[in-house]
Amino acid sequence: MRKTAWAILAALFLMALSGLAGDQPRIGPPPLRTEAPTLQPSPLHVWVPGFWKWAGVNYEWVEGRWVKAKKGHIWVPGKWEQAGSRWAWKPGKWAKPGWDKPKPDKHKPKPPKNRK
């Protein structure tokens, strides 16, 4: 009987502990590590830097690597962003050059031209 009670208590403790380990951490990641990329496999490869990954209870470092470039695109590294009291990971992606420039508002009225 006593062993069963301890087993149930231990299981409840582990369930409570796993509930605290969420997908979004409450503390920000450590500073990025300085990496020394290995030799570039070919001119077609791009270095994708390492990043901190949330592992449920703490952060784990994911090493950078060489990947084959996507033609006409650039690699935009992922980043951690604070959202209220939590931190959320925005993964890296391939994007066309100039993707971050604001696009003109099509519905915004144009100022009148000066007539002289």
Q: How would residue 4 be classed by pLDDT, with cut points 50, 70 and 90?
A: low
Q: H or E element: which one contains 114?
A: none
User: Above 90 in pLDDT, residue 113?
Assistant: no
User: Above 80 in pLDDT, residue 68?
Assistant: yes
Q: Which two tokens stand for residue 94?
A: 């391939």
- Single out the residue of 90, 91, 88, 92 nearest to residue 27, CA to CA: 88
Distance CA 85, CA 22 (A): 13
Distance CA 22, CA 36 (A): 32
User: Above 70 in pLDDT, residue 80?
Assistant: yes
